[in-house]
Amino acid sequence: MAILASLRVTLAAVAAAALCSVASGALVRSKQLGLRLPPPAAGDEAAATGGFAFSTAGTSPVGFASAIADSAEKAAHEAVKQVANEGAVRLVASVDLKSGGLSVSLQKEGTADSSRSASSSLPVAWALYNNTVEQNGWSYLSVSTSEDARISREMKMYAAGFLEGFSSAQQIRHFRHNANVLLKQDEAKHHALANIQQMFSNSLRDLCAKSGMKPGASLDDASAPSDPWWRQARFSLMQAWGILDAYNLRAADVKDTPMSMIDLLVLNSDGETPELETAYDMEEFMLRDSQREENGTAGDDVSALFQRSAQHSNFLKRKQLRSAPHPAGSAASSRRAANAAARRARDMGELGDRAWRRIKESSGRCSALVRLTAGNKDLMVGHTTFSDYSEMTRVFKYYDFPLGDGGVRRMGFSSYPGVAGSTDDYYLLDSGLVITETTVSMLTDEPYDKLDDTKTQVPDFMRIMIASRLAKTGPEWAQLMEKSSTGTYSSQWMVVDYKAFTPGHPVLNGTLTVVEQVPGMSRTADMSDRLQKTGFWASENRAWFKDVRDSIGATDAEDLHGPLFSAEQNPRAKIFAATAQGVQTLADMRQEMRRNRWPNEKAVGDDNEPDHAIAARGDLNKDSPSANGGVDAKVTTSCLARLLRCDAISGPTAATQQPFRWTDPATHKDRFPGAPHEGLPDMWNFDWVHMAPQAGGATGVAADACDADHHA
């Protein structure tokens, strides 16, 4: 369907395809303007997943009008094409009270809806998208929804997602292309994608069932589930489907193919796909299935997938070598334990600096610092994302969604195109919480034996957003994350509650909550007292809690290979310990999170390597350079955090190193031919910018003081 013939979303039309999406038989008008899901889809997948075909890609199941209704929609379409490479656009989504149509038009600054009278339509959502990647390495997105109670929250979230996907489709296409190239490289080693897709399909089926999203159901307040968690899950899925439908509407326009909902979930899980590839590796998955068969606990979905997987005879041979048939009862348990111990010993023996670099490049994401300055004058949170340079298609986002449940309405976070979450992770919330994390790197695949493939949870990027919306304190956030744990997204989380902090006063309990989650285990502790005593908490991809370290092999690795695998004596930990006390101002914090003094970093001794820095530069490694390392930094203070503001910078650090370039300036050849970089600038030498809600885009940074007028 050509995009120019399908811009208006007509909710009163009946769609031919059927996903768990806004397809709708009719607009619900009893008490609210709501949405109705389509009738069950036909086909094998739909029959197996409660009526919804999650893997179907193509035209949205939302019905589209056969022609553009008016000039306002033509103008909106032309405007988003103009900002594909640079520029800003403001859009509004409105629902027509007579036809039940949801349409998109340009919004004039300072107005709610520039094209239609209030008597005939209601504005549902607004978006500002400002693409300044070529100027400063960032795009800026601000999306808000109406407070009007006559409009269901499901419609608001769908419209919000639709505006996001519609305005940023070109950047989504770039990010999707680069991410898929990297995913294929992992897939060649693990052959896990089919398992990952099935896992997401099961999760979506469960989410739809528990949130009342059944074929033909009306989606409004009257049909919302009573549990706030599942209400918020429903809203999150509606937002995701809005993004998906808008992108598929513009897919041909940006020279791409449409996505399915499973495709979108994989893209939204990009921050954890290397871990998912390991956890759902064909061999690993078969091993877990064989253990369930012995215990008689294999589920139907898992068994069906195992039967399909069994066609790959090469993996069966590997499985037989790794996990021979076990005798029944306690002997089987003993044999499995012995095999697991042998695998761990093998993996531990193979570790070392080169192995750590490979682990870091695949799943060792980020450096983080929580800094309490002298005299408790300020409390700052900084974060540096580690990633493949291919994924530097960055967007800083602000959401303003009045969703009820007493939860967060406004939030700001660093993100990526088409991703309804951060995945870095770095969140500024109007609850007073600032949340960030670094990945806990798995040193062996043995912990993934603990995953239960028969159970389903909300996908990680959704559950993180839901927990962040519902929690008012660090402990509440930790509890929500523990009960929703998927067994992957292994991380050390830091939750700073600025409500508990008063400059110049002692740090109160509950100011800093640290959460670690790894397969089969969640641990939480209040680290406020330690923060008061030491002045900082640093995180460098190593687990802190003793039982967590034991579980993932970190204790064994440290015993065998030394402080490289230590929680407190690893190279970045040594740098933080030597330098954190000198961080007293916002300017200091900006410098700290971009620190890479190689080859002159004295604090690390013999570990003086460019990729052992707080802002790693793997491309500078002389033995085996790679396009991987620190790709940004975000920093905030107690004053800025309360305003949902931060300073941010995009790209590998150039503070004390040469700027990164994709091409060799002398030969003009690609320096990393295997690393995709579609849509990315060639040279990365951008400055810090300031992010603020309703600012219209990134602005220049101010001095150290939190000056609201300057930052406005």
Mean pLDDT of 367-383: 98
How far apart (Å, rounded) are the C-alpha atoms in residues 166 and 60? 13
pLDDT at 360: 64
Mean pLDDT of 480-508: 97
pLDDT at 314: 44
Evaluate if residue 234 carries a pLDDT over 60. Answer: yes
Q: Evaluate whether residue 293 is within a structural domain.
A: no
Contact 516, 544 (CB under 8 A): yes
Task: Give the sign of the dihedral formed by CA 666, CA 671, CA 673, CA 678.
Answer: negative
Which residues are CB-contacts of 568 (< 8 A; sequence separation ≥ 6)? 577
Evaluate if residue 123 carries a pLDDT over 70. Answer: yes
Band of the pLDDT at 695, cuts 50, 70, 90? confident
pLDDT at 42: 67
- Do 143 and 8 sit in the same domain of this protein? yes
Mean pLDDT of 53-75: 57
Query: 546 or 404: which carries more pLDDT confidence?
Result: 546
Query: 165 or 352: which carries more pLDDT confidence?
Result: 165
Band of the pLDDT at 64, cuts 50, 70, 90? very low
String of DSSP letters for 201-235: HHHHHHHHHHTT--TT-EESGGGS-SSHHHHHHHH
pTM (2 d.p.):
0.90
Query: 650 or 312: which carries more pLDDT confidence?
Result: 650
Contact 481, 469 (CB under 8 A): no
- Do 435 and 578 sit in the same domain of this protein? yes
pLDDT mean across residues, the chain: 85
- Do 263 and 358 sit in the same domain of this protein? no
Q: Evaluate whether residue 230 is within a structural domain.
A: yes
Domain count, the chain: 2
- Do 264 and 371 sit in the same domain of this protein? no
How far apart (Å, rounded) are the C-alpha atoms in residues 672 and 185? 14
In this structure, are strands 394-400 and 138-145 parallel, antiparallel, or unpaired?
parallel
Mean pLDDT of 124-138: 97
**Ranges 352-361, 544-553, 658-667: which has the least confidence:** 352-361
The amino acid present at 216, given as its one-letter code, is G
How far apart (Å, rounded) are the C-alpha atoms in residues 320 and 632? 44
Band of the pLDDT at 110, cuts 50, 70, 90? low
The C-alpha angle 183, 186, 188, rounded to 5 degrees, equals 110
What percent of the chain stands above pLDDT 70?
A: 79
Q: Evaluate whether residue 336 is within a structural domain.
A: no
- Do 217 and 360 sit in the same domain of this protein? no
How far apart (Å, rounded) are the C-alpha atoms in residues 24 and 35? 6
Four-point Cα dihedral 81, 86, 90, 93, nearest 10: 40
Band of the pLDDT at 709, cuts 50, 70, 90? very low
CATH of residue 533's domain is 3.60.60.30
Domain boundary among 268, 303, 338: 268
Domain boundary among 268, 287, 310: 268
Evaluate if residue 323 carries a pLDDT over 80. Answer: no
pLDDT at 287: 84
- Do 252 and 376 sit in the same domain of this protein? no
Mean pLDDT of 82-99: 90
pLDDT at 326: 45
**Ranges 33-47, 409-423, 540-554: which has the least confidence:** 33-47
Mean pLDDT of 470-482: 98
Exposed/middle/buried for 583, CB within 10 Å: 0-12, 13-18, 19+?
Answer: buried
Q: Within 13 Å and on the Cβ side, how many CA atoms surround 515?
A: 26
Evaluate if residue 46 carries a pLDDT over 70. Answer: no
Evaluate if residue 356 carries a pLDDT over 80. Answer: no
pLDDT at 1: 27
Q: Evaluate whether residue 408 is within a structural domain.
A: no
Evaluate if residue 381 carries a pLDDT over 90. Answer: yes
pLDDT at 711: 41
Contact 611, 571 (CB under 8 A): no
Token pair in block for residue 323: 């996990």
Evaluate if residue 497 carries a pLDDT over 50. Answer: yes
pLDDT at 215: 82
Q: Evaluate whether residue 17 is within a structural domain.
A: yes
Closest alpha carbon to 19 in 48, 61, 72, 74? 61
- Do 242 and 366 sit in the same domain of this protein? no
Q: Evaluate whether residue 325 is within a structural domain.
A: no
Q: Evaluate whether residue 282 is within a structural domain.
A: no
Domain boundary among 224, 244, 268: 268
Mean pLDDT of 591-613: 94
Which residues are CB-contacts of 136 (< 8 A; sequence separation ≥ 6)? 650, 686, 687, 689, 698
Instruction: Tell me which residue range forms the domain holding 598.
Output: 353-385+424-711
pLDDT at 62: 42
Q: Evaluate whether residue 406 is within a structural domain.
A: no
How far apart (Å, rounded) are the C-alpha atoms in residues 328 and 336? 11
CATH of residue 89's domain is 1.10.439.20
pLDDT at 26: 37
pLDDT at 119: 64
- Do 245 and 380 sit in the same domain of this protein? no
**Ranges 50-54, 108-112, 474-478: which has the least confidence:** 108-112
pLDDT at 216: 81
